[in-house]
Copies of this chain bind each other. A is one copy, B any other.
Amino acid sequence: MPNYTLYYFNGRGRAEILRMLMAVGGVQYTDKRFEFNEWDKYRNDMPSMCVPVLDIDGQNKMPETMAIARYLAREHGLYGKNNMDMFRIDYICDCFYEIMHDYMRYFHTKNGRFFENGKESEMNPATVIPYMQGRFMDTCRRVLPFLEKTLETKNGGNQFFMGDQMSLCDMMCYCCLENPMMENQSMFTSHPKLMALWKRVAAHPKITGYLKKRANTNW
């Protein structure tokens, strides 16, 4: 097995899906975390000045959350059996990723950090924060009903998105909704199948142990 190092901030954020995939795949890796105030030390060593990044054998630093996620999912049988399965898993994942992407941009705006260009300083926080929040909530309103309906098409929505086996997209459900649900559970109550799936993933034998021992951070 290659020697993996995962680089990310000391938070769940965009990296948590990768840590969870490593846990389910039984992969050993170095979980390299740093604080926001250490970012300047790391930025220029990251391929596109972004994290998460997966380093393989100390030779190849690979960027892009979902590219890493799909690589790990293929490696560990969490990506379906044929092209149509992969298509379905992909669009479900990408819908969840839209939520995560808009949530992370809102979250970082709200916390006044992690901007590349400083342009935000020209923006009035009283305007831009509700704007980013509005964008995130619209994405939820647009995407969650579709995901609820999609889940229902297999086994009444009482197992996983692809049937009786957990796959990458179920894990995305867990990771992308975790922080949003902590902030505002009411947004999700009208999607009971997704809420139940969220708990089902958390209770999965390969996830539950990971969740118990993972680092405890507030995002």
**Contacting residues, chain B, for A47 (C-beta < 8 A):** 146, 150
Stretch in A4-12, A131-139, A182-190 touching the partner: A131-139
User: Judging by beta carbons under 8 Å apart, are B117 and A123 in contact?
Assistant: no
In the complex, chain A residues 127-167 whose Cβ is within 8 Å of any chain B Cβ: 127-128, 130-131, 134-135, 137-138, 142-143, 146, 150
Nearest residue, chain B, Cβ from A84 = B71
Known: A127-B122, A134-B119, A146-B47. A91 touches B67 (CB 8 A): yes
**Shortest beta-carbon distance, A43 to chain B, in Å?**
10
Q: Assess whether B87 is in contact with A71, with CB atoms less than 8 Å apart.
A: yes
Question: How many chain copies does the complex carry?
Answer: 2
Q: How far is the CA of A93 from the CA of B90 in the complex (A)?
A: 14
How many A residues face the partner with a CB closer than 8 A?
43
A64 at the interface (CB under 8 A from B): yes
Pick from B50, B71, B137: contact of A90, CB below 8 A. B71
Inter-chain contacts of A120 with B (CB < 8 A): 131
Which residues of B lie under 8 Å from residue A207 when comparing CB positions?
none
Cβ contact within 8 Å between A63 and B146: yes
Confirm or deny: A48 has a beta carbon within 8 angstroms of a beta carbon on chain B: yes
* A173 beta carbon closer than 8 Å to chain B: no
A203 within 8 Å of B by Cβ?
A: no
Binary interface encoding of chain A residues 90-116 relative to chain B, with 1 for a CB under 8 A from any of its CBs, else 0 = 110111000000000000000000001
Which chain B residues lie closer than 8 Å to A68 at the CB level?
Answer: 87, 91
How far does the Cβ of A124 sit from chain B's closest Cβ, in whole Å? 8
CB distance from A63 to the nearest CB of B (A): 6
Could you pull out 18 A-B pairs where Cβ atoms are within 8 angstroms? A47-B146, A47-B150, A48-B95, A49-B142, A50-B142, A62-B87, A64-B95, A67-B90, A67-B91, A71-B84, A71-B86, A71-B90, A74-B86, A117-B137, A117-B138, A119-B135, A122-B130, A124-B127
Contacts A47-B150, A74-B86 given; 4 further ones with Cβ under 8 A?
Answer: A63-B94, A67-B93, A120-B131, A127-B127
